């Protein structure tokens, strides 16, 4: 395979593998939605707490007292929020559910916009389906909140990961097929050029031979 199609095919296959890995993770989230929600909340709590610590530390490096005090207070509030999420995971999951509602709506709208803009593009149907799935999940989550907040985070994130992973995998397969088509097109073009060159060389050889024969006959 030629270098450029080979690079495109390698990237496409990497995307396909990553997509199927995301599908597997989403499936695991579906089988254990409550544990998945707690795990997601714990990761979020650690990230928020780390951000709070970072802001608090950098507050002491501020050039002005007012600016440093404001950054210190904001960092302290962020750190406390992270600790609360970690100590009270159920409360964190319920709060995270509200954030997920907004995220599903925004993600679905942008997915639909991207799908409608990709007219005739490979994988357009999967992009649109992914956007519709996000909006539907956001509506269902909003209608059943807060009762479903305990298990909905892990379950809905799992479903979303499955759709996203499948979309990535399908786009990767489409890219793989496109790379094969490009490589075959390059091979066909090279064969056509080679045949044209050989035909031209043959015609020139024939014309040269004819001239030599006529010259010999004239000399005789």
Q: Which two tokens stand for residue 94?
A: 């319920």
Query: What pLDDT, on the 0 to 100 scale, is given for residue 14?
Result: 81
pLDDT per residue as tens digits for the range 90-141: 777 777 778 778 888 888 888 888 777 766 665 677 777 888 888 887 888 7
Residue 64 — very low, low, confident or very high, per pLDDT cuts 50/70/90? low
211/203 Cα distance (integer angstroms)? 12
- pTM for the model stands at 0.53
Q: First CA to last CA across the chain, in angstroms? A: 56
**What are the boundaries of each domain within the chain?**
13-169
Q: Which of 133, 89, 81, 84 is nearest to 112 (CA)?
A: 133
């Amino acid at each position: 395979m030629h270098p450029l199609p080979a690079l495109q095919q390698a990237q496409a296959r990497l995307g396909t593998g990553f997509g199927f890995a995301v599908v597997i993770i989403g499936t695991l989230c579906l089988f254990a939605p409550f544990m998945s929600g707690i795990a997601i909340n714990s990761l979020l709590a650690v990230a928020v707490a780390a951000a709070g610590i970072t802001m608090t530390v950098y507050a002491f490096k501020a050039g002005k007292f007012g600016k440093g005090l404001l950054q210190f207070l904001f960092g302290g509030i962020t750190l406390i929020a992270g600790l609360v999420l970690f100590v009270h995971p159920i409360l964190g999951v319920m709060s995270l559910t509200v954030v997920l509602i907004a995220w599903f709506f925004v993600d679905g709208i942008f997915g639909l916009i991207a799908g409608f803009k990709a007219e005739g593009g490979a994988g357009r149907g999967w992009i649109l389906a992914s956007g519709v799935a996000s909006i539907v999940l956001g509506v269902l989550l909003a209608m059943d909140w807060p009762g479903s907040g305990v298990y909905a985070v892990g379950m809905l994130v799992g479903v979303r990961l499955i759709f996203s992973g499948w979309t990535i995998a399908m786009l990767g397969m489409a890219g793989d097929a496109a790379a094969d088509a490009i490589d075959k097109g390059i091979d066909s073009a090279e064969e056509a050029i080679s045949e044209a060159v050989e035909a031209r060389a043959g015609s020139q050889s024939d014309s040269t031979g004819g001239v030599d024969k006529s010259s010999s006959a004239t000399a005789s």
